[in-house]
Structure 1
Amino acid sequence: MGIGSPRSAFAGLRRGFVAIALFSAVVNILMLAGPLYMLQVYDRVLTSHSVPTLVALSVLLAGLYVVMGTLDAIRSRALVKIGHSIDLTAAPSVFARVLREPLSKNPDPASRRALSDLDQIRQFFSGAGLAALFDLPWIPIYLAIVYLIHPVLGLVATGGALVLVAIATFTNHRARRLAAAASAAGAERAALAEAARRNADVIAGLGMEGALGARFAALNDRFLGASARASEVVGTAGVVTKVCRLALQSAVLGTGAYLAIDGAVTGGAMIAAAIIMARGLQPIETVVQHWRSLLSARAAYRNLKDELTGTSVPEPMQLPPPARALRVDRVTVLAPESRTPLVLDASLSVSAGSIVGVIGASGSGKSTVARTLVGAWTPVRGRVMLDCAPLDQWPRADLARHIGYLPQDVELFDASVAENIARMEASPDAEAVIAAARSAGIHERVLSLPEGYQTRIGECGSILSAGQRQRLALARALYRDPFLVVLDEPNANLDAEGEAALVAALEAVRRRGGIAVVIAHRPGAVRVADQIAIMEAGRIARFGAREEILGARAARPGGRRAAKAASLAVANDATDVKAAEERA
């Protein structure tokens, strides 16, 4: 499994954790060096007044501390690298999930924050909370050593440990719900802010700033309230845990002093027991202080678990480039999060070298057909095939090279003109980029830009006019001469020059043996089509040669007026449709 495979994200995690556990074992054993040094100083050096013994013990202790510090630093760096490795391996799959989510039949809102969840997991690996979790199993061993010094001291330490565990359990119970509420409110707040940013012009034009500002303020208040309460719970628990641990250390010292007065333990043993107990219980304090990050990382892992540990779907075998036909076989399509069919039992068959016009009223299912033809939406029944091969049998990257798509709502990226035309390829083919721009009739306009094809066009192509954005998106659809070109309302923002370039581009697709599907609201937009499909209420009501379809429309009762207008529109430029209807 290569980089980006979901299962590979955690494939080596167990081996890494075993190594971290071994480092933690050595570090925790070396942590006993300090208490044992104190024990030897009090019980041996002070009684014997031996300076050489003191020097030898001190040198040994210094060496052990150097080793311990080195291993602890290595452990921390290893955890950071594991976190980065998970991010590096899983990020492509997570990003693919983010792209798939809007197209899913059952969208998961959690997918919208998948990348931030991955960041949360990586940050948790970089923090002190995870390292403390590896130290927790050593608490019984530290307590056992205290028991060996004296059972009474062991009982005091055990009682204190139970108190700290109770505090941690309470913190988990309270903070988990508050953290979940804060996360949900934060996701809603971020979604509203992103929607407002995308529609800033509409908001400004319609004076919606106040209404949306009030809604954002309410969500923000809910988020801050839940977040503050969660922080208060974790912060208070951390303070209480710290105070309890310090008090317990003093209690062990006091109890040890009483036992030393009785002669049950030595002074060195008393101090060593207090230090060992404090060190043994410190991981609980650290975990409580980092409890919120632990909860966040756990929630993020659960959200991404299926993606990170799921089985990879085998990539379909590479197929020869399509060259013969497009076939739609009884296709039924539902919109995401909907059970109502937008397209029902649609069928058509188109040979290479054809231009097909799909016309119909608004809401008849035309754009749904476009999305289905390019594989953006998957039919719930039926198949779309290129050269008898269903779209899902093509490797997605290969299929994308054979399809060009101009959506009704043009979206461009904040990148250069060349990168947008080349579909954001890392190394665009300059000749293919220029050829596509010429086909769309935008080459000269691009050359007039400050940096030509390297000019950044801003978010959504902000430096271009609506017509220029439309033609740039048309060039993107025509890049590398795809076999199937699907254009949804391609002349929506075009002037006469743009219309001429569009017609020339469609003729070029026909001449080179491709297939062009033009979605349009009016017949005039498909005047160069060989075949026409008429959509009515989600069905392809009629499909055939242009002359036959127009004749059928004329033959219907009450259809002569519409047919005459359509014929005039086909004969004239699309901009003259209204005049044609008036003349009819």
Structure 2
Amino acid sequence: MFSSQQRTRNLEVSDTIIKSPRSFLMAALSSLKMASLGIGATSALVNVLALTGSFFMLQVYDRVIPARSLPTLIGLGIIAATLYAFQGILEVVRSMLLVRVGLSVDERFGATVYDSLALFPARVQVHGDGLQPVRDLDVVRTFLSGPGPTALFDIPWMPFYLGLCFLFHIWIGVTALAGALMLVGLTILAERMSREPAKEAAKIVSERMALAEATRRNSEAVLAMGFGHMLGARWDEINSRYLGNHLRLSNVTVTLGTISKILRMMLQSAVLAVGAILVIRQEASGGIMIASSILLSRALAPVELAISQWKSFVAARDSWSRLTRLADLISVDGREVALPKPEKTLKVENLHLAAPGSKNSIVRNISIELQAGDSVGVIGPSASGKSTLARGLVGLWPPVGGAVRLDGAALPQWDPHALGKHIGYLPQDVALFGGTIAENIARFDPDATSDKIIAAAKTAGVYDMILQFPQGFETKIGEQGSALSGGQRQRIALARALYGEPFLIILDEPNSNLDADGELALSRAILSVKARGGIVVVVAHRPSALAAVDKVLVLTNGQMQAFGPKDEVLRRTTQPGPAGPQPVRLIIGGEEMAQ
């Protein structure tokens, strides 16, 4: 899934995209060949019809005025109006096609971007608020749906217009060519001056949004402890860098855009002047003088538009580059064979785990094997690797060594969506989603049945609690479950972990927010899973969570110190209290566990 060949191939594609505006646009349209052909054909017709104004002026000055023929003028006017109407229709069609291209790109990357929000924090070290892929998709879609791509489609027609200028007269062509070269030079200058500020802008925006989101989520702590002004100072510093970068990038675009506009108007006047000289010397007609001025304006308009849209183009190009990397990194090869439901063993073989983006192992050389109906408590002092092991057992953190196997199959061999149905996971930091209690318990499964939801709630011991709410299972819990207490959130999250009777259930500090009734319900839930042949792993810092488990795994400094039957392991790792055998203190790795 993350092979070096994939990364190398994708980086080569991205480098090609960065080097050329046209290659970026063609890459964006590569999977939409019919749309690309349609836009290209429409652009060709639009640029041919754009000659209407020039040739109308040419005919008026060279035919109508000398002949003083009103019928000829009326005929030319009807023809010109018809051609202008067709041009307008084609412009609308091209714009509508580009809007649909933008939507198609969104459809192509939408699922990838959403998957990255869940996958990336467990695979790589994420900087900022982690929402950069969402912003990248918005930027690309907005650019492709706007006027920028039309300029890139029209620029290749510049030689055609310049060639017509040379057909009018050699000096008109030379003047137009000189102006075109100057505008192309401005375009290259815009690229060089805006590339680095654009890259820096993406980083600062991500950092800025991360602080804003963190402040919003932790507003209670900020207000209660009164350190909002300190975060405000940090916000001012980040915002100052953001505004400075925005100003530099805008200055480049505005300055070069204004220069290109003034230069184009000067060139039009220059072509008129050259044409006037040619008319005086009787080397050209008045119609050619006017038509060449209009023709030059049309030839240079796409370049001027491209410069004015350069800020958007650079942002879209960089966003597209990141999206192509993203799609390659999280691509999952299709599984031709669907593995059967696991129902026998969980085997951990020489497991080594490290945090995303780190090479330093937190958990080292863990080897255990559990059979259906087994339950194990993972205990140890703080920072001993308990939660890391939990993440590894459910496949959140891929091993840097060793393997986790269900019925002999390593976790990467499973289809991720199919594997999720066989795993129940209660993380240490409980997070629910905005919606109803029923939706959260059912993991937002649209095909969930009432029987399965109620069964999970009863197994978790929250059925009666849910019925106490005015709307029962249809109660809206708000974002992050804000309408619930910490204990209620944890118990509903436990029901979510039990939904569908998964084979492997990992509970990380499941009793951290529970009262006595909640802990009793937790023990009953563990016993229920064991009775139906599931496997339960309970990560605990409080021995009360171990009441229903049969085995205990002791971790210290990321390594397994003991593993075996609960009573035997606890006997070896406990010491009597100062006043005699009671109370019992659990000493692991020199640290006393809370009771």
Query: After TM superposition, is the score higher than 0.5?
Result: yes
Residue identity matched to 1:425:
D
Q: Is the 8 A contact 1:120 1:297 kept in 2?
A: yes
Q: Is the 8 A contact 1:332 1:379 kept in 2?
A: yes
Q: Is the 8 A contact 1:9 1:90 kept in 2?
A: no
In the alignment, which residue of structure 2 is the partner of 1:441?
461
In the alignment, which residue of structure 1 is the partner of 2:121?
102
From 295, 311, 315, the counterpart of 2:314: 295
Residue identity matched to 2:342:
P
- CA-to-aligned-CA distance 1:339-366 (integer Å, 9 cap, x gap): 3221110011111112211111111111
In the alignment, which residue of structure 1 is the partner of 2:70?
51
Is 1:364 the counterpart of 2:384 in the alignment? Answer: yes
In the alignment, which residue of structure 2 is the partner of 1:275?
294
Is 1:522 the counterpart of 2:542 in the alignment? Answer: yes
Counterparts of 1:95 and 1:425, CA distance in 2: 17
Counterparts of 2:176 and 2:210, CA distance in 1: 49
CA shift at 1:252, angstroms? 0.9
CA distance 1:544–1:161, shift in 2 (3 Å):
same
Give the 3-state SS of the residue equivalent to 1:363 in structure 2: coil
In the alignment, which residue of structure 2 is the partner of 1:581?
none
Counterparts of 1:185 and 1:546, CA distance in 2: 51
CA distance 1:9–1:476, shift in 2 (3 Å):
farther
CA distance 1:310–1:77, shift in 2 (3 Å):
farther
Q: Which runs of 5 or more residues in structure 2 are unaligned? A: 1-9, 14-26, 587-592
CA shift at 1:245, angstroms? 0.9
Counterparts of 2:203 and 2:523, CA distance in 1: 50
In the alignment, which residue of structure 1 is the partner of 2:7?
none
CA shift at 1:379, angstroms? 1.0
Counterparts of 1:359 and 1:166, CA distance in 2: 67
Is 1:454 the counterpart of 2:474 in the alignment? Answer: yes
Residue identity matched to 1:128:
P
CA distance 1:395–1:376, shift in 2 (3 Å):
same
Q: Which runs of 5 or more residues in structure 1 are unaligned? A: 1-5, 570-575, 579-584
CA distance 1:206–1:444, shift in 2 (3 Å):
same
CA shift at 1:577, angstroms? 7.1
CA shift at 1:263, angstroms? 1.0
CA shift at 1:308, angstroms? 4.2
Q: Is the 8 A contact 2:577 2:584 kept in 1?
A: no
Counterparts of 1:11 and 1:326, CA distance in 2: 45
CA distance 1:133–1:271, shift in 2 (3 Å):
same
Counterparts of 1:340 and 1:566, CA distance in 2: 38
Q: Is the 8 A contact 1:418 1:433 kept in 2?
A: yes
CA distance 1:515–1:311, shift in 2 (3 Å):
closer
From 164, 188, 191, the counterpart of 2:210: 191
Give the 3-state SS of the residue equivalent to 1:383 in structure 2: strand
- CA-to-aligned-CA distance 1:60-88 (integer Å, 9 cap, x gap): 11221121111111111111111110111
| Count of aligned pairs between the two proteins | 563
Is 1:149 the counterpart of 2:168 in the alignment? Answer: yes
CA distance 1:311–1:354, shift in 2 (3 Å):
closer
What are the equivalent positions in structure 2 for 1:500-511 lying under 5 Å apart?
500-511=520-531
In the alignment, which residue of structure 2 is the partner of 1:401?
421
CA distance 1:393–1:10, shift in 2 (3 Å):
farther
Q: Is the 8 A contact 2:106 2:141 kept in 1?
A: yes
Counterparts of 2:539 and 2:196, CA distance in 1: 49
Counterparts of 1:170 and 1:215, CA distance in 2: 34
What are the equivalent positions in structure 2 for 1:407-418 lying under 5 Å apart?
407-418=427-438
Q: Is the 8 A contact 1:418 1:428 kept in 2?
A: no
Counterparts of 1:311 and 1:414, CA distance in 2: 26
Residue identity matched to 1:236:
T
Is 1:466 the counterpart of 2:482 in the alignment? Answer: no
Counterparts of 1:10 and 1:383, CA distance in 2: 41
CA shift at 1:378, angstroms? 1.1
Is 1:230 the counterpart of 2:230 in the alignment? Answer: no
CA distance 1:223–1:107, shift in 2 (3 Å):
closer
From 5, 8, 16, the counterpart of 2:35: 16
CA shift at 1:565, angstroms? 5.9
Counterparts of 1:155 and 1:347, CA distance in 2: 79
From 364, 376, 383, the counterpart of 1:344: 364
Identity rate, percent = 43
Q: Is the 8 A contact 1:9 1:309 kept in 2?
A: no
Q: Which moved more, 1:392-401 or 1:559-568?
A: 559-568
Counterparts of 2:74 and 2:223, CA distance in 1: 77
CA shift at 1:11, angstroms? 5.0
Give the 3-state SS of the residue equivalent to 2:573 in structure 1: helix
CA distance 1:127–1:341, shift in 2 (3 Å):
same
What are the equivalent positions in structure 2 for 1:62-141 lying under 5 Å apart?
62-107=81-126, 112-141=131-160
Q: Is the 8 A contact 2:116 2:330 kept in 1?
A: no
In the alignment, which residue of structure 2 is the partner of 1:252?
271
Give the RMSD, CA atoms, in angstroms.
2.3
In the alignment, which residue of structure 1 is the partner of 2:343?
323
Counterparts of 1:107 and 1:221, CA distance in 2: 23
CA shift at 1:304, angstroms? 1.5
Q: Which moved more, 1:155-164 or 1:423-432?
A: 423-432
Q: Is the 8 A contact 1:550 1:566 kept in 2?
A: no
Give the 3-state SS of the residue equivalent to 1:385 in structure 2: strand
Residue identity matched to 2:122:
L
Give the 3-state SS of the residue equivalent to 1:358 in structure 2: strand
Q: Is the 8 A contact 1:553 1:560 kept in 2?
A: no
Q: Is the 8 A contact 1:146 1:276 kept in 2?
A: yes
What are the equivalent positions in structure 2 for 1:529-568 lying under 5 Å apart?
529-553=549-573, 559=575
Counterparts of 1:111 and 1:237, CA distance in 2: 34
Q: Is the 8 A contact 2:576 2:585 kept in 1?
A: no
Residue identity matched to 1:287:
A
Residue identity matched to 1:248:
L
Give the 3-state SS of the residue equivalent to 1:460 in structure 2: helix
From 161, 164, 185, the counterpart of 1:166: 185
Q: Normalising by structure 2, what TM-score?
A: 0.90
Counterparts of 2:563 and 2:38, CA distance in 1: 67
Counterparts of 1:566 and 1:538, CA distance in 2: 28
From 443, 446, 464, the counterpart of 1:423: 443
Counterparts of 2:329 and 2:384, CA distance in 1: 38
Q: Which moved more, 1:62-71 or 1:198-207?
A: 198-207
CA distance 1:429–1:311, shift in 2 (3 Å):
closer
Counterparts of 1:521 and 1:168, CA distance in 2: 62
Q: Is the 8 A contact 1:360 1:522 kept in 2?
A: no
Counterparts of 1:518 and 1:308, CA distance in 2: 35
Residue identity matched to 1:409:
D
In the alignment, which residue of structure 2 is the partner of 1:216?
235
In the alignment, which residue of structure 1 is the partner of 2:21?
none
Residue identity matched to 1:333:
L
Q: Is the 8 A contact 2:551 2:563 kept in 1?
A: yes
Q: Is the 8 A contact 2:166 2:172 kept in 1?
A: yes
CA distance 1:32–1:564, shift in 2 (3 Å):
farther
Q: Is the 8 A contact 2:576 2:584 kept in 1?
A: no
In the alignment, which residue of structure 2 is the partner of 1:3?
none
Residue identity matched to 1:81:
R
Q: Which moved more, 1:263-272 or 1:451-460?
A: 451-460
In the alignment, which residue of structure 2 is the partner of 1:497?
517
CA shift at 1:159, angstroms? 1.5
CA shift at 1:172, angstroms? 2.0
Q: Which moved more, 1:464-473 or 1:13-22?
A: 13-22
CA distance 1:251–1:577, shift in 2 (3 Å):
closer
In the alignment, which residue of structure 2 is the partner of 1:181?
200
- CA-to-aligned-CA distance 1:177-214 (integer Å, 9 cap, x gap): 22233332222111111222222222223322011100
Residue identity matched to 1:247:
M
Counterparts of 1:326 and 1:349, CA distance in 2: 6
